[in-house]
Amino acid sequence: MSVGVRRYVGTALRLVVCAGLLWYVASQLRWSEVRAAVTQADWRWLVFALLSLAPVPFAMALRLRWLMNANGVELTLGRSVAITFVGTFANFVLPGQTGGDVLKAVLVARDTHRRHEAATVVLFDRVLGLICVVLLSGAMLLANWGDPALSDWGRPMGVAFACLILPGALYFSVWFRRLIRWEALLARLPLGEHLRRIDRAVWVYREHRLVVLRCMVLTWLLQAVAILATVLIGQAIGMASESSARTLKVYYLYVPLCWMAGALPISPQGIGVVEAAYKALLHDAAGFGTAGGAVVLSLLVRLANLVWALPGLAFYLKMGRPGSADRSRPGEAAGRAGVARCESPDGVL
């Protein structure tokens, strides 16, 4: 079976799973609850939630710039903002779950000779965000280990977190690399030279621990803001407790788990998976609102993120299609570090 056929088959299977999940979630709902959540919503809270998300794309762009510069690819902040908006918008309109990352990698790599490194940094940026979600979820699980809602799946989730973190720790272990003769292993693989360049691009961050730590702290702040926006949306539609402290505790515990569920490669954009997770955790486990309200909450969160992704279309039209104008202008050495410059083709950003 050719690669193209496998890709189409995989996409078709994910769409089937997505449709099945949506049917399952819809079958569990009372549509009167959905109507009530929408018609009785306090729109002032929704406006506050939307405004609270304003710093997120700009901080994501700053994180991408830090990671790029640490790897020898100089990316201006304006260019990084444009690429971040374009990638976020692409995640909503392209099939699959990594379309935005692929487009970001292409846009960064087309203006530098360090293309392996640029593309690898975009992937590392996504992985770092996932690692931060895992660590945040793990910390919240440990802090709430006695919560009755965690009795059935708290330990399995903890084991899953450990399984996600352990490979990363082993990858950056010099001892483990020597044990398995990592360099020799890469050399024997197909496209070994490309893999070695990718490996070196990731390994650089072992020597830039402060940059990685700074990016992680920024990511946790972003995630805290995103969860707060979800709390505000929940408050608007009655998906909250009478106690503000309990509402915050529940959301900061469960929303990262919903994100992790959405990151699973089951359906495009986690459609159906995220809605089921919101219902299972915020309504069934925490007892907030109604099942219909939980699904409306997940949809409103998607809508809020889409609103802040829309500027990406304007940036994309201004920057031009990847590969159109100024496709392969090589980067110039910048100072003694030999950093490749990555600037806007039209010189504006």
Cα 319 to Cα 342: distance, rounded to the nearest angstrom: 13
**pLDDT tens figures, 124-142:** 998 899 889 888 888 887 7
Average pLDDT, rounded, for the chain: 80
* 8 A C-beta contact, residue 90 and residue 103: yes
**pLDDT tens figures, 281-314:** 898 888 898 989 999 999 999 999 999 999 999 9
CA distances, 200 to each of 109, 114, 120, 205 (Å): 17, 12, 10, 9
**pLDDT tens figures, 318-344:** 876 655 444 444 333 333 333 333 433
Weakest-pLDDT range from 13-27, 70-84, 107-121, 130-144: 13-27
pTM summary value: 0.80
Domain range summary for the chain, segments of one domain joined by +: 3-115+208-342
Between 297 and 265, the higher pLDDT residue: 297
- How much is the pLDDT for 63? 96
**pLDDT tens figures, 103-123:** 888 888 887 787 888 888 998
- How much is the pLDDT for 345? 33
Residue 319 CB: number of other CB atoms within 10 A? 22
**Mean pLDDT for the stretch of residues 241-270:** 84
**Mean pLDDT for the stretch of residues 247-266:** 86
SS3 242: coil
Cα 232 versus chain centre, distance: 21
**Mean pLDDT for the stretch of residues 232-247:** 92
- How much is the pLDDT for 180? 85
Between 25 and 230, the higher pLDDT residue: 230
Q: How confident is the model at residue 153 (pLDDT cuts 50, 70, 90)?
A: low
| 255 closest CA partner among 215, 228, 290 | 228
Cα 4 to Cα 263: distance, rounded to the nearest angstrom: 23
Percent with pLDDT over 90 in the chain: 31
**Mean pLDDT for the stretch of residues 20-44:** 77
- How much is the pLDDT for 52? 96
In a 10 Å sphere around its CB, with 0-12 CB exposed, 13-18 middle and 19+ buried, how is residue 333 labelled?
Answer: exposed
**For residue 263, pLDDT beyond 70:** yes
Cα 293 versus chain centre, distance: 24
Q: At what angle do helices 244-263 and 115-143 cross, to 10 degrees?
A: 140
